[in-house]
């Protein structure tokens, strides 16, 4: 079945006000600004206020995307929130967002694909709109990772931050841009190298293990690093090839924002100049599913690419999961 083309009609993002700098982290764990900057590229990250939930950040990003897309919340037909830090295990964070937006007509659900979630959501929404099941969709990547961080573990607490990014998708009209190609993948044999082990049904938090920080992110950084470079490079090449583009046709690459060394390695392997690769992780750290969504919004609004130009988004995360999208903007 051939699917109707789908365009991104608007984007939005939201970052909480509170900035946590590397200098402040030096006072919390045994680390230095020098180590964090040279190993990751991160200088600061945002931390949600107490009482500010993933759904609140998602809603704020969503409102900006809807405004730019000129679509009213009441006309939305689908809301997908990608998150690993939902407000509650159930119902889905997307349900809170639907209520906040008063988007009464929209079906709403979450997907859990870690840092790759926003592009997984894009793939789903694109196919549902393309097949005619819905006429538009709001997709959001939103995370309150500060609530799932072990603030005593220097290996992880320096890496993550909070925030949300959103996009509104609808059928592409004549002369508009469209999503050219998408690629998503999973390797479930490697669940152990990046996960939150506790808090699910396999290991509920009990009185006996409550102090063990089991509901915090745990990662074998070096393993994840290697996989991230390989999977993101392969996924990006696949969507570029499938779209009939070459690296010269790409105005901007928007990669997952986890580590500047990973981003540089990918730019190198894709043979793309560093100035064509968008980076904002120095300001926000790794915001998991929100990262590529925030980056897409910031890059678009700051004029890094224009309507009619081609961009490539590419992500990697726990699962392991990975995804890429080539988009004519």
Only one of the segments 168-176, 177-185, 221-229, 270-278 lies at the binding site for ligand UT7 (rule: CB under 6 A); that segment is 221-229
Q: Report the residue number, 55 or 259, with the smaller CB distance to ligand UT7.
A: 259
Q: Report the residue number, 3 or 193, with the smaller CB distance to ligand UT7.
A: 193
Alpha helices of the chain — where are they, by DSSP H? Answer: 22-26, 33-40, 54-69, 93-101, 117-130, 154-157, 221-242, 260-270, 281-284, 289-301
Tell me the residue number closest to ligand UT7, measured at CB. Answer: 221
User: How many other CB atoms are there within 10 angstroms of residue 151's CB atom?
Assistant: 13
Q: Which of residues 177-196 bind ligand UT7 (CB under 6 A)?
A: none
- Angle, alpha carbons 157-158-163 (nearest 5°): 85
- Angle, alpha carbons 8-328-108 (nearest 5°): 25
Is 256 catalytic? The answer is yes
Nearest to 315 by CA among 262, 276, 275, 268: 262
Q: State yes or no: residue 224 binds ligand UT7 (CB under 6 A).
A: yes
Which of 216, 280, 286, 321 touches ligand UT7 by CB under 6 A?
Answer: 286
Only one of the segments 162-170, 218-226, 268-276, 299-307 lies at the binding site for ligand UT7 (rule: CB under 6 A); that segment is 218-226
Q: State yes or no: residue 282 binds ligand UT7 (CB under 6 A).
A: no
Number of residues that bind ligand UT7 (CB under 6 A): 20
Alpha helices of 102-182 — where are they, by DSSP H? Answer: 117-130, 154-157
Is 286 catalytic? The answer is yes
Q: State yes or no: residue 27 binds ligand UT7 (CB under 6 A).
A: no
Which 3 state secondary structure label does DSSP give 266? helix
Which of 142, 158, 236, 326 touches ligand UT7 by CB under 6 A?
Answer: 158
Which of 43, 154, 178, 269 touches ligand UT7 by CB under 6 A?
Answer: 154
Helices (H) and strands (E) in the chain, counts: 10, 13
Say which of 22, 259, 280, 286 is annotated catalytic. 286
Q: Report the residue number, 91 or 221, with the smaller CB distance to ligand UT7.
A: 221
Q: Which residues are 82's β-sheet partners?
A: 111, 141
Which of 3, 147, 221, 242 touches ligand UT7 by CB under 6 A?
Answer: 221
CB 290, CB 165: distance < 8 Å: yes
Say which of 22, 95, 115, 310 is annotated catalytic. 115
Q: How many residues does the chain have?
A: 329
Tokens of 11: 């984007």
User: How many other CB atoms are there within 10 angstroms of residue 51's CB atom?
Assistant: 6
Q: Report the residue number, 31 or 135, with the smaller CB distance to ligand UT7.
A: 31
- Catalytic positions: 115, 256, 286
Binding-site ranges for ligand UT7 (CB under 6 A): 31, 35-36, 39-40, 115, 154-155, 158, 221-222, 224-225, 228, 258-259, 262, 286, 316-317
């Amino acid at each position: 079945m051939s699917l109707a083309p789908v365009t991104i009609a608007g984007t939005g993002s939201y970052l909480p006000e509170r900035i946590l700098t590397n200098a402040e982290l030096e006072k919390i764990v045994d680390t230095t600004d020098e180590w964090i900057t040279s190993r990751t590229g991160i200088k600061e990250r945002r931390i949600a206020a107490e009482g500010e939930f993933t759904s609140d950040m998602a809603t704020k990003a969503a409102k900006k995307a809807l405004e730019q897309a000129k679509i009213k919340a009441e006309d939305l037909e689908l809301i997908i929130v990608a998150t690993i830090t939902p407000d509650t295990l159930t119902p889905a964070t997307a349900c809170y967002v639907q209520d906040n937006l008063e988007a009464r007509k929209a079906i709403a659900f979450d997907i859990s694909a870690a840092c790759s979630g926003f592009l997984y959501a894009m793939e789903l929404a694109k196919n549902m709109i393309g097949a005619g099941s819905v006429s538009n969709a709001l997709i959001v990547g939103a995370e309150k990772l500060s609530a799932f961080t072990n603030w005593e573990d220097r290996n992880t607490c320096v890496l993550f931050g909070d925030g949300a990014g959103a996009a509104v998708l609808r059928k592409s009209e004549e002369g508009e841009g469209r999503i050219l190609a998408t690629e998503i993948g999973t390797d479930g044999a490697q669940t152990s190298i990046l996960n939150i082990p506790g808090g699910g049904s396999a290991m509920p938090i009990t009185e006996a293990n409550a102090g063990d920080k089991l509901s915090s992110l745990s990662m074998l950084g070096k393993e994840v690093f290697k996989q991230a470079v390989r999977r993101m490079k392969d996924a990006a090449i696949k969507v570029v090839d499938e779209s009939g583009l070459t690296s010269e046709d790409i105005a901007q690459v928007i990669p997952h924002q986890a580590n500047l060394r990973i981003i540089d390695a990918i730019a190198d392997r894709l043979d793309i100049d560093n100035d064509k690769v968008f980076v904002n992780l120095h300001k926000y750290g790794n915001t998991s599913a929100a990262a590529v969504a925030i980056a897409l919004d910031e890059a678009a609004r700051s004029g890094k690419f224009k309507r009619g130009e081609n961009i490539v988004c590419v992500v990697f995360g726990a699962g392991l999961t990975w995804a890429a999208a080539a988009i004519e903007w």
